[in-house]
Homo-oligomer: A and B are copies of this chain.
Amino acid sequence: MKARIFIGETTVDVIPADDRGLAYGDGVFETMRVHASMLPLWPRHRKRLMLGAQQLGLALPRINVIEAHISEAIAGVDAGVLKLLVTRGSGGRGYAPPADPVSMWMLTLHPLPSTSSIGLRLHCCQIRLAAQPALAGIKHCNRLEQVLARAECDQAGCDEGLMLSTAGDVVCATAANLLILREGRWTTPPVEASGVAGVCRGWLIEQGLVAIGMLTPHEVETADALALCNALRGILPVSSLGTHEYHQHPAVAALQTQLAAAFPMFQVHKEVA
């Protein structure tokens, strides 16, 4: 992984040992799909990045400088993933943010994850998401809950995991938002207390294709169909949650078609199961 590392607007070779991202997860990130040397969802990622930085009181480098380096990084890349990480930069020991921090940021390219049209098997994660309104929605770097949840999924031999809040409501998957179909309508849980406001989720809501609503585990189990969505893989059908199985549903394919009409990179190539 070749990283492009910057401090403020200066290119540097290494990550300073006193970086606050490393010390405290004091930063935000975006993981974005590259398509034909472009980031089709960039305006949405940029918006969430700026919101996250504002919520954490973190000074971002000038956006046009970030954008210029992104263009350089993805030039000639037909398909892939670009990760942008921004931390508060160097700091002294201790939680207090420095008076005049200069952010450290980094661009890295990664291969596109495989996008299977075969349904995902979900594990129902033991670890729950704590309710923290001050951090919910944004894509900050405090991700131990997701790391532990993901380790559970691997242990269970599943592709992804369903995460509940400590209050017992359904929130999301470890790295995707959840969509459930009941009576012909798609619903996704709110992310005001925990979870991340995914950019694909945001688009689906804006289009009126998905509504926000609280969901109990029972409503998810007894749904007509389940799907996950994120900015890298679009909409992914779910085939099982624990021992519950879901049949292929035409509404999932319809949603995939609508997303692909707006963002052709999400076109689904059907496979033989």
Contact = CB atoms under 8 A, between A and B. Distances in A.
A45 interface: no
Interface stretch (A132-140, A202-210, A212-220, A259-267): A132-140
18 contacts: A1-B18, A3-B18, A19-B22, A24-B143, A24-B146, A25-B141, A25-B143, A81-B93, A83-B93, A88-B147, A95-B147, A130-B130, A130-B132, A130-B166, A131-B131, A132-B145, A135-B145, A142-B143
A18 B147 CA distance: 15
Contacts of A24: 25, 141-144, 146-147
Interface string A97-125: 10000000010101001000000000000
Contact of A144 (B18, B56, B85, B149): B56
Contacts of A147: 20, 24, 26, 56, 88, 95, 97
B106 A93 contact: no
A9 to B, nearest CB: 19
Q: How many copies of this protein are present in the complex?
A: 2
A31 B93 contact: yes
Contact of A17 (B1, B141, B143): B1
A15 interface: yes
A108 B17 contact: yes
B108 A18 contact: yes
A25 B144 contact: yes
A26 B141 CA distance: 9
Contacts of A130: 130-132, 166
A26 B26 CA distance: 12
A138 to B, nearest CB: 10
Nearest to A126: B134
A124 to B, nearest CB: 15
Contact of A143 (B26, B83, B174): B26
A135 to B, nearest CB: 6
A14 interface: yes
Contacts of A88: 147
Interface in A151-210: 151, 153-154, 166, 174-175
A161 B154 CA distance: 39
A23 B141 contact: yes
B142 A144 contact: yes
